[in-house]
Structure 1
């Protein structure tokens, strides 16, 4: 078995200044930022094509005070953003990390737009749970694949080298700094790469069932909806190095994944007035808590499944998301003129489903504590069978304000940096602290900071 951490070889096959492991959003943003700071950059990616969990997401990044927000007439600031993050996480986050994220998000979005031409716009026609302002920024298709492709194109235009099909297996350490890594090729060949600075942007450990069961047993039976390469190398390297690890039980779940199609259904179908029911046609929780909490709630129902019920008005809003269009195209979204017909199609008891929908308050708070306002659900009615999933983990390596990895004793590694899913995020200790977009917030902001930082 290959050692996770080892002494450096006498010579490396290749040397570079700044080496980045992972070509998702964090790694690509870090590469652009590092090159802008005058560093020679090399990115290593295990897949044949850069994607990561970013490509599986909606590609939305929360930021407060951006120029595009201001143009849309939205008043927002970093202090309010930080307050929203902490409120959702019940104050469990390190305030310094929350402030770091909130205060640097707008600059990162403005920089990507102005320097690299990414056409962000703000989602303005519905609210995300926990956000007191409309601050979710996305590209036109509202798809993560578009975001990672745009970042990859920006790197290519900048002449940044991205070497794919190279999985990092070993970190070479010399006292208080990392000297390089060992990587494996698909053919079993091995290469060593030396570096003056290493950035871990290889995401979390959601694809490692043993680590998931150990740190978050309540979601271990959920559908793994993230990238299969998220095997936890960063935290395993960190543990070997004596790095501080925080909030390993924190994760983003999603309780609205079309089943068995495995397509993410935007939570807009719920926030705009839709509900979730179980196999009995009955509601079972307060859906306003959020889509991460929904994963656990849905998995607790018979068969670990539920049904999202909404209408054509809400479907029209959800159509701005590419995933929703795909779900319609494959027949996951069912639409009928009556609730009886929808119930028959979904295999639900018609009388109970009708009673459930008719009992929704037109303007007020229900027995679950959810407040409804706006138009009631009306024909045509829509429904989709869904299950609960684990999308990505939020715990990881503790980093300082420069994104240097911090040891358990509070000291830092001279030239080791981390961001995105490799670093501890801002979602508290479990699933109930996940604020929409926290994963990409960490990827973009920490990638931006880690890239331009110099080892000191």
Structure 2
């Protein structure tokens, strides 16, 4: 487990600010932008040499319902409809008020990032994500989390919001329900004590802490860790030491479409647009329409913990809007064949079995796994990627008040000035992996970050 260090406040601090934010991923930077807009004196701390976090490893897509971009595209959507989709995917295991707050805040954040900060978001309009009843994924041109991080950082720098890197928070100072500040460790192992009036934990979850993963989610403990190694679980352990409420610590987002051994995320559009997953025998083994989070365990359960994602040139053209997919092609992870036999030979699969798998897909019908298919069948030339399952980030965390993002206390009420957002807070993915709706991670990051920052 992460070692929590909570102590009484020192007699004096080296530096004092109004709002101290720990973690400069998308969550922390959006919190900083919101706090700055509210007129607060802000200091944003980042443990790494440059801001990256889990956001930089994602596709950078944020789901939001009722945005101007949706309306411009002729899409009628609403926060209530989005909330319904979130709860349906999570089997109604989420707190209704938290879901409603995120769904209501998401379009505000997207419109604000576009109109106030000039981020060139656009709507993903050429394919659907499992569980979403409308097209509501918003991303920057490259469909890359790295682009999102860099764009947010550019705004932080343009507004002269102090961002200090190479500063890892190692201790929180508290007196009862009030947080007084934090100690940060510098690269030379010296320390600084920073006092604050408000403290926002935006330091993500605990996926990089293998002991915590094995304890809380043993079924995914052996999977590849595809998140950021800085996700060590400090927020969870600090919360435990402080007497905070924690919830759904077994919840996580997996992904069953990571190119192996290349370690490159392959967009789930390769599946939603009509692709399939087969094992090393060339046979399908589950209903791929359930979602990419559940796919991690499904793939890892196959021989060798791997599978092949099979699609065609039409789908590949859609997937190329993602930088990761183009990178996978450049590195030779995507195999192509003019016929099923050619593809099977390159992939080392039985040609007759793979051919039957493809021809058994019921165009416009429902298959034995319960998946419903569109009318466009796979056709040559074909493509394949060898994939495995991975853990992307944890979804459980500290319980927060949905209207303020203040952390709730185990004995009742909330802390006076402690906030949690993003992976540090309990999200809206239920209590396991099957409740994860596409985009839930960044949804929690941007909405709770916005709420906490503006509080």
Pairwise TM-score range, normalised by the shorter structure: over 0.9
1:43-88 superposed Cα distances (whole Å, 9 cap, x missing partner):
0000000010000000000000000110010000011000000000
Residue in structure 2 matched with residue 283 of structure 1 by the alignment: 284
Q: Secondary structure at the match of 1:116?
A: coil
Q: Secondary structure at the match of 1:371?
A: coil
2:283 and 2:364 map into 1 onto residues whose CA distance is: 20
1:119-146 superposed Cα distances (whole Å, 9 cap, x missing partner):
1111010100000000000000000000
1:399-436 superposed Cα distances (whole Å, 9 cap, x missing partner):
00200000112211101001000000000000010000
Matched ranges for 1:54-453 at <5 A: 54-400=55-401, 401-453=403-455
1:186 and 1:118 map into 2 onto residues whose CA distance is: 33
1:122 and 1:410 map into 2 onto residues whose CA distance is: 41
RMSD over aligned CA atoms reads: 0.9
1:344 and 1:387 map into 2 onto residues whose CA distance is: 20
Q: Secondary structure at the match of 2:193?
A: strand
Gaps of 5+ in 1: none
1:81-116 superposed Cα distances (whole Å, 9 cap, x missing partner):
000000000000000000000011101110011100
Gaps of 5+ in 2: none
Which runs of 4 or more aligned residues in structure 1 lie more than 4 Å from their structure 2 counterparts after TM superposition? none
1:3 and 1:321 map into 2 onto residues whose CA distance is: 39
Say how many residue pairs are matched: 453
Identify if the C-alpha distance between structure 1 residues 80 and 172 changes in structure 2 by more than 3 Å, giving closer, same or farther: same
Q: Secondary structure at the match of 2:238?
A: helix
1:363 and 1:452 map into 2 onto residues whose CA distance is: 48
Contact 1:319 1:325 in 2 (8 A): yes
Deviation at 1:2, TM superposition (A): 7.3
When normalised by structure 1's length, the TM-score is 0.98
When normalised by structure 2's length, the TM-score is 0.99
1:420 and 1:285 map into 2 onto residues whose CA distance is: 31
Contact 2:4 2:241 in 1 (8 A): no
1:290-330 superposed Cα distances (whole Å, 9 cap, x missing partner):
00000010010001110000000000000001110100010
Residue in structure 2 matched with residue 32 of structure 1 by the alignment: 33
Contact 1:342 1:383 in 2 (8 A): yes
1:42 and 1:50 map into 2 onto residues whose CA distance is: 14
2:76 and 2:454 map into 1 onto residues whose CA distance is: 29
2:349 and 2:412 map into 1 onto residues whose CA distance is: 56
Q: Secondary structure at the match of 1:315?
A: helix
1:116 and 1:212 map into 2 onto residues whose CA distance is: 37
Contact 2:3 2:237 in 1 (8 A): no
1:206-225 superposed Cα distances (whole Å, 9 cap, x missing partner):
01111111111111111100
Deviation at 1:3, TM superposition (A): 5.6
Contact 1:2 1:170 in 2 (8 A): no
